[in-house]
Structure 1
Amino acid sequence: MQQITEEQVQNILDMELVLPVIKEAYEDCVEGKIYAGNRIFMPIRGEKNVGQWLVANCTNKPYFGSKFSSVFPGNSKKGLPSTISKISLYSTETGELQALIDANYLTANKTSGSAAIATDLMARKDANKLGIIGSGLQAFSQVLAIQEIRPIEELHVYDINPGRIESFIERIEKIKNRPYKIIAAKTADECVSSSDIICTCTTSHTPVFKGSSVKPGTHINAIGSFTSFMQEIDTETVLKSDKVITEHVEGLWEAAGDILIPFEQGKITKDKVSGTVGEVLTGKITKRENEQEITLYESVGSGVLDIALSIAVYHELVEDVK
């Protein structure tokens, strides 16, 4: 059994590896070669702290696996990550544990790689102004991924804690792939109204910007909300969205407060959700159809993508050992 550390994962994963693995996993999922089981999420001593379990099984590779994530928003005050994840990868032949993987960095890359593919499919081809709300590992990873699929000219950054914005910008300056301008937004709404592509990367339980700030033609990656009671994106934004896609439609209706809350209020029907990223990739549903559409990728987490990336990391490490 391999024990794989965060440092090893960071040495293996980059967007050159991540993006094709995620794309292939979506296509395999549509074809039934890999599928997700039911998720479990559990409030831990109150709604703000949550434990979540995701599982997936391959029919074309000898693996199945599970990921456990804990989200404790108060950890930032303790100098700890707010999200902590581990993945267990098992053999489908014997059921034995093949690898135990520290998965904070893997999860961030999985989520940002998926958002980048959704962005490439749904954002305008001329979209070049990226807005990031949040300044943690996930926000950093979103920039790494999306700068690979659009020629970014401006990056607008907002965080509820102004002190974190400066250090975030310093980190981005070191990894940006072209000389784009980085701007500290004074408010979340300013960040949104200045951008063609929006990524929300927070653990907020309440909307982080007003839907009235969203311009026609914008693409939004809603990353933070993954339980029924979290609403990072307001109802107005959902109502304004012409297309809503996700990783797994069933998972969305179990866990995406951004969508569940307006649904339970009777403001949308289930028809509001167009389908999955995999269905767009394989042509089963349409991409953006005009320059005025507002498109929304609602991410709720995918065991399929976690396990696909885990297999890639495991294989890279095993080959290195050989």
Structure 2
Amino acid sequence: MKTITVGPDEIREAVSMREAIDAMRLGFLDLAAGKFEMPTRTVLGDGQFLVMPAHHQPTASAMVKTLSLNFERKPAITGTVVWSESSRLDHLVADAAAVTTLRTGAAVGVATDLLAAPDAGRLTLIGAGGQAPDQVRAVHAVRPLSRLTVVDTSPQRAEALVNLLAPELPDTELVTTLDAEAAVSDAELVCCATTATSPLFPKSALPTRVHVNAIGAFRPTMRELPDELLADSTVVIDELDAILEESGEIIHALEAGAITEDALTELGTALTAPHSPRGDRTVFKTVGVAMQDWVLAELLARKFLY
């Protein structure tokens, strides 16, 4: 029996964003088909600690992720992802921060590829924290970017992100700003990756045709999107039970009567079933589910254990 430990750099070297997106698409299809045993995550200390298990029935493999979250420190996310398989004695332990940012990006890549206009290329990213680089990489993998506008309350943080990504985006115009409303006004793609507790922009600030990804709000007290946008858009989510328990913007919109549960389509279902668009705006809301971590852990297990 052996236990292999995989650090952040090894994860990055082993799994490309394109590979993660392709695997994540299959994961969402399996989730929709009922192939995962996946309890809603356990939240402790008002979101300071998260425990997320998932069992993939076809492969008899399981993953448990334990996270510590503190957005006042760097890195904000620490923890471990443990992968095991019933037929093997070996285990894999991976850095949870790298897995989390990569798998969240991959889910956004799947949704953007499905929902965004084929020619979309102007991305506005709101929030330049730890999740931000993989948001950009994922969108760029499915919709090559002609322009990236980074919005953050800290100009230094926005510039640091742009400088980090510049070598990966040699043909992309790179812009930073403090003005979220102006930045989304002609965007074709928007990614929200913040810890906001109120909407980042009004619906009126957006163009009539846009795809919005919202990943930051993962507790009922957090919100990134206005009710009016959700009421006027095709809304795709990662998993209904998790969204109803944890997504502040969805909970708020439901309680306000802006939307109903019938307006929410899980991504795995949207990948296979035709859906009727509600206008030209689309939204993908994710709070993150354990299946996504299993997908990355399974990719790493195949590379490091097999």
Corresponding residue for 2:120? 127
How many Å separate the matches in 2 of 1:28 and 1:196?
A: 30
Mark the runs of 5 or more structure 1 residues left unpaired by the alignment: none
Is contact 2:42–2:52 with CA below 8 Å preserved after alignment? yes
1:104-159 per-position Cα deviation (integer Å, ceiling 9, x unaligned)? 11111111111111011111112111110111231111111111111311111101
What secondary structure, in the 3-state scheme, does the structure 1 residue paired with 2:78 have?
strand
Specify whether residues 128 and 285 from structure 1 end up closer, same or farther in structure 2 by C-alpha distance, changes over 3 A only.
same
**How far is 1:31 from its partner?**
2.3
* Counterpart mapping for 1:1-322 below 5 A: 1-42=3-44, 44=45, 47=46, 50-75=48-73, 80-93=74-87, 98-176=91-169, 178-241=170-233, 243-273=234-264, 275-282=265-272, 284-286=273-275, 292-319=279-306
CA contact (8 A) 2:90 2:305 kept: no
2:18/2:141 contact within 8 Å kept:
no
Secondary structure of the structure 2 residue equivalent to 1:140: helix
Partner of 1:147: helix, strand, or coil? helix
Local SS of the residue matching 1:202: coil
Compared CA separation, residues 71 and 209, structure 1 to 2 (3 A): farther
SS of the aligned residue for 1:245 comes to strand
Q: Kindly indicate whether the alpha-carbon contact (under 8 Å) linking 1:128 and 1:150 is maintained by their aligned counterparts in 2.
A: yes
Matched residue type, 1:221 = N
> Any conservation in 2 of the 1:212–1:236 contact (CA below 8 Å)?
no
Which segments of structure 1 move beyond 6 Å, counting only runs of 4 or more?
A: none
What secondary structure, in the 3-state scheme, does the structure 2 residue paired with 1:236 have? helix
C-alpha deviation, 1:72, in angstroms: 1.4
Q: Percent identity?
A: 24
Distance in 2 (CA, whole Å) between partners of 1:32 and 1:264 is 29
Matched residue type, 2:299: A
CA RMSD of aligned residues (A): 1.9
State the AA in 2 paired with 1:313: L
Matched residues in 2 for 1:85 and 1:199: separation? 25
Amino acid at match of 1:21: A
The alignment partner of 2:66 has SS state of strand
| CA–CA distance in structure 1, aligned partners of residues 211 and 90 of structure 2 | 40
Taking the aligned partners of 1:287 and 1:36, their CA distance within structure 2 comes to: 28
SS in 2 for 1:194: coil
TM-score by length of 2: 0.93
**CA drift at 1:171:** 0.8
